[in-house]
Structure 1
Amino acid sequence: MKTMTLLTATTLISSTAFAAQQPLTLDVYNADGNSFHVNSTLVYGETEAMVVDTGFTKADALRIAAKVLDSGKNLTTIFISQADPDYYFGAEVLHDMFPQAKVLTTPGVRATIAEKLEGKLAFWAPKMGANAPVKPILPTAYNGKTLTIDGQTIEIRDADGALAHRPYLWIPANKAILGNVAVYGNVHLWMADAQSDASRQAWAQQLDQMKALKPNVVIPGHMTSGTALDASSIEFAQQYLMDFAKAKANSKDSAQLIQTMQSLYPNAGLPMALEIGAKVHMGEMKW
């Protein structure tokens, strides 16, 4: 918690600095390794606030809720950017505490959550115990391409096409990217969800699009404590995708693939992502 608090403090300091010039403030909650280092972001203006992604555990969600309360703003929207449980399991807690806030997501993400929710809950609930949701919230499908906080626009990008289930958010006024599962900061990428060449190519293209925006702020979907909130995480993810493809082509099994990637990224967090991804890609495990 101490490390996480220090990260949050650092984020608030930097956010406050650009909030004086830009209309929205971004306050990042970075979970620990037990919650896959997933990020959630409180976005707020003068009077209104929005939570982007709600954490994995009840404890995560309560810490995010504390940020909302501390901000003193009216929470109008809870936006779920991805269909992975660490992005939406916490919505139950936040919805109970802030019933006035709409829980929204894109149609593509909602469809994926609905398809996999029962299985995800059956798998994770026994492992999470009291930290698991009891009645997970299925977000409302939102067909719009923008959201607003105090009149400022937040764009929903890549909500159609090959990555309709993996969109991201862009705040033009802040030149900020958030709400995504494409960008990782100093952790192994979750390659098990990108098994085909086409899916990895779409991922790489999305990263190229993000980089072309020339963002000032990039909030990765997952990151280790202390990761810089800038475009370096886009470059990290781009390089990792290329390194993984090369290592896979030169590996006979998952053990060799894991060894190669560990040698290239000795300090990367989320080793589970590498272990599962390597086994899936080498045909030793189904995902």
Structure 2
Amino acid sequence: MSLTSRFFAGLGLLAVAAGALAQPLTLDIYNPRENAVFPVSSTLISGEKDAILVDAQFSNTEAQALVERIRASGKRLTTIFISHGDPDFYFGLDTLTRAYPDAKVLATPATVAYIEKTRAPKLAYWGPILKDSAPARTQVPEPLQGNALELEGQRIEVVGHDPQHTSLWIPAIKAVVGGVLTSANIHLWVADAQSAEARQRWLKSLDELEALQPTTLVPGHYLGKPAMGLDDLRFTREYLLTLEQQLPKAKNSQALIAAMQARYPQLQDDSSLELSAKVLKGEMQWP
């Protein structure tokens, strides 16, 4: 082997060694469970020194708890990614961006457009309910350019055919985080999927996530102890299919609520079922 060939071969070995020594990304999941209006998940994706936060919580109280958790990690927060346009995913930005003013705040263009359109009426509705824990301002993320983030050289992909309902896929650790598509141990919030077409898009998105065969899947909302895997996705799918079967049979929201409670007596968060049933049976307008 020539001297030049040996030199480049050595470079190749160094590159392989550097890749092998790269610290695996880790996940730290914060979910306030029963202590919050919505048991929404936020995930801190950490490398050796830097971190990306996925979703910002709903109220100032939960967002401040998230700030303390990030500080305790010792990581430098480079990015906050908002995976969905409902306020429990982004109202906490007011608190987080005050604590981390240098962190980029990003979302898909479709999520940005949805937040811009709905943030004023959402704050008008939820502000009086949250009271002192409501954000002083609502912040709109910047649109993500492309379909991926990067953390310490490792790629994190935005996946999903429906641009308003995406998740993050981390190939290196086969994990799905972010988004509103999956739940565990609670009745689903279906008030935002008012048409059969919207619910079919939801089911298709679940199929896409399952095809990735993740070893870790963080539900967007949960109470209790979730499986953190495909069992939570399959529960979500089964719930939607059951709802689709019961919806035309139920004369009104009370009948639909009773049918779903009979099928899933162990689930918590009846309030989500009650509001969703009223909306789906045309007894209430939402939002």
Same fold (TM over 0.5): yes
Q: 1:280–1:77: structure 2 CA closer, same or farther, 3 Å change rule?
A: same
Counterparts of 1:23-42 in structure 2 under 5 Å? Answer: 23-33=24-34, 34-42=36-44
* Partner Cα separation in structure 1 for residue 98 and residue 55 of structure 2: 15
SS of the aligned residue for 2:284 comes to coil
Counterparts of 1:106-117 in structure 2 under 5 Å? Answer: 106-117=108-119
SS of the aligned residue for 1:210 comes to helix
- Structure 1 segments unaligned to the other structure (5+ residues): 1-19
Q: Spell out structure 1 runs of 4+ moving beyond 3 A.
A: none
Would you say the 8 A contact 2:39–2:222 is kept in 1? yes
Residue 198 of structure 1 aligns with which residue? 197
Residue identity opposite 1:28 in structure 2: I
SS of the aligned residue for 1:235 comes to helix
Residue 168 of structure 2 aligns with which residue? 169
Out of 132, 140, 151, the residue aligned to residue 130 of structure 1 is 132
SS of the aligned residue for 2:203 comes to helix
Cα offset, 1:71, TM superposition:
1.0
Residue 258 of structure 1 aligns with which residue? 257
Cα offset, 1:35, TM superposition:
2.7
Residue 209 of structure 1 aligns with which residue? 208
Deviations 1:75-121 (A, max 9, x none): 00000000011000001111000111001101000100000000011
Deviations 1:40-88 (A, max 9, x none): 0111000110110010111111111112111111100000000011000
Would you say the 8 A contact 1:38–1:223 is kept in 2? yes
* Partner Cα separation in structure 1 for residue 251 and residue 147 of structure 2: 44
TM-score between both structures, scaled by the size of structure 1: 0.90
Residue 50 of structure 1 aligns with which residue? 52
Deviations 1:187-246 (A, max 9, x none): 111111111111111100110111111110000100113112111110010000010011
SS of the aligned residue for 2:173 comes to coil
SS of the aligned residue for 2:106 comes to strand
Structure 1 residue 73 and structure 2 residue 75: aligned? yes
Structure 1 residue 222 and structure 2 residue 224: aligned? no
Would you say the 8 A contact 1:146–1:156 is kept in 2? yes
Out of 79, 84, 91, the residue aligned to residue 93 of structure 2 is 91
Residue 64 of structure 2 aligns with which residue? 62
Would you say the 8 A contact 2:149–2:156 is kept in 1? yes
Cα offset, 1:143, TM superposition:
2.4
Cα offset, 1:286, TM superposition:
1.1
Query: Between the two proteins, what is the percent identity of the paired residues?
Result: 42
Would you say the 8 A contact 2:185–2:224 is kept in 1? no
Residue 181 of structure 1 aligns with which residue? 180
Cα offset, 1:31, TM superposition:
1.8
SS of the aligned residue for 1:262 comes to helix
Residue identity opposite 1:30 in structure 2: N
Cα offset, 1:22, TM superposition:
7.1
SS of the aligned residue for 2:44 comes to strand
Would you say the 8 A contact 1:251–1:257 is kept in 2? yes
Would you say the 8 A contact 1:62–1:93 is kept in 2? yes
Residue 139 of structure 1 aligns with which residue? 141
* Partner Cα separation in structure 1 for residue 216 and residue 22 of structure 2: 14
Would you say the 8 A contact 2:158–2:167 is kept in 1? yes
SS of the aligned residue for 1:241 comes to helix
Would you say the 8 A contact 2:78–2:102 is kept in 1? yes
Larger radius of gyration: 2
* Partner Cα separation in structure 2 for residue 140 and residue 24 of structure 1: 24
Residue identity opposite 1:252 in structure 2: K
Residue 11 of structure 1 aligns with which residue? none
Residue identity opposite 2:261 in structure 1: Q
Would you say the 8 A contact 2:23–2:47 is kept in 1? no
Cα offset, 1:138, TM superposition:
0.9
* Partner Cα separation in structure 2 for residue 45 and residue 154 of structure 1: 12
Alignment coverage as a number of residue pairs: 265
> Which has the larger displacement, 77-86 or 58-67?
58-67
SS of the aligned residue for 1:191 comes to coil
Residue 272 of structure 1 aligns with which residue? 271
* Partner Cα separation in structure 2 for residue 216 and residue 167 of structure 1: 18
Cα offset, 1:32, TM superposition:
2.4
Q: RMSD between aligned alpha carbons?
A: 1.4
